[in-house]
Amino acid sequence: MPALVEARESLSYWETRLQTLPRTAVRKRREARAMVDRWRARVSEAERAEYGHGLLGAIFLAMAERRLPTHTTRQIVRVGKGAAIVAATTVISMVLLTIIAFAVMLALIF
């Protein structure tokens, strides 16, 4: 059985176990949470081994499974937040410059 398929099956098992355990089973839930974290890491490693590292691997994964790797998604969100801050700053600056230019033009007219 390929490593990626096995890792996904194990991750699915532990995620289901974590969701179905009662809240009072604290130790079993703690174990299941730790195993979910481990298997998520193993799935990521298996995906990188299967599809490759970096941007090219992310593109292959997106083409094959129609989704991006988890670490790539986080990077996109981080870059998107930075771009939104830059865009907001630019818009505010342009609005302020327009207001100042309008005030100067009014001062020259009157």
Please report, for residues 7, 13, 14, 20, 82, the alpha-carbon distance to residue 39 in angstroms, rounded to integers and kept in the order given: 6, 10, 8, 18, 31
Place of tokens 């691997």: 57
Residues 108 and 64 in one domain: no
**38 vs 18: CA distance, rounded Å:** 13
Q: Record the pTM.
A: 0.59
Place of tokens 């604290």: 26
pLDDT for residue 34: 97
Domain count, the chain: 2
**63 vs 54: CA distance, rounded Å:** 14
87 is in which domain, residue-wise?
70-110
Residues 57 and 26 in one domain: yes
Per-residue model confidence as pLDDT tens for the chain (110 residues): 688 899 999 999 999 999 999 999 999 999 999 999 999 999 989 988 888 887 788 888 888 888 777 666 667 778 888 899 999 999 999 999 999 999 999 999 98
Place of tokens 């703690």: 30
Residues 18 and 60 in one domain: yes
Residues 37 and 83 in one domain: no
